[in-house]
Amino acid sequence: MLLLVIVAALFSGCCANILQPYNETALNMFHGNDFNGDGKFERSELDFTFYVYDTEPLDGIISRLEYTSYINKTTPELYRLSHELYDIYDIDNDNRLEKHDYDAFFQLMDSDDDGWVTEHEFVHYWTILLESLGHLIDVGGTR
């Protein structure tokens, strides 16, 4: 979203707030998730981003456990943050991430509603989101 992959794949270490500066993190996330390199984050790329979390069974539905377990294995400093992100992605609050959740989440990023998310839209959305959630990052190594 993080995104993924959207967030977790970008970080290592735990010195200071590993997401700062937020705009640079968001820019790196954009480039890491623009899989075809066309300068636009497309709806299909969001599906691909979330696919990595769908572990058991491969059913197109991501449970909170699947999502947070993956984050905890790859980047434990972001475990608390992963719960909050899951809640944001789960638009209808049914504790399942499915196609309609991805559609709604994509719409949040696509501020001009043109069917794709530009670098500017992506960085703007994620910078604001990361600023609001930065306190959830466990820089001390404990949960």
So where are the chain's domains? 18-132
Residue 125: predicted pLDDT: 97
Judge whether 33 and 25 are in contact, CB under 8 Å: no
The distance of Cα 4 from the centroid of its chain, to the nearest Å, equals 4
**118: helix, strand or coil:** strand
Quick: pLDDT tens for 57-98.
Answer: 778 899 999 999 988 898 888 899 999 999 999 999 999 999
Whether 70 and 8 have beta carbons less than 8 Å apart is answered as yes
pLDDT for res 29: 93
Distance from C-alpha of 110 to C-alpha of 142, rounded to nearest angstrom: 35
- Of residues 79 and 16, more confidence is placed in 79
CB-based burial, 85-115: b 16+ in 10 Å, e otherwise? bbeebbbeeeeebbeebbeebbeebbeeeee
Pairing of strands 116-118, 62-63: unpaired
pTM equals 0.83
Domain spanning 18-132, CATH class: mainly alpha
- What is the amino acid identity at position 129? L
Q: Which of 81, 55, 95 is nearest to 137 (CA)?
A: 81
Q: Please tell me the distance from the alpha carbon of residue 103 to that of residue 106, in angstroms, as a whole number.
A: 5
Contact 28, 35 (CB under 8 A): no
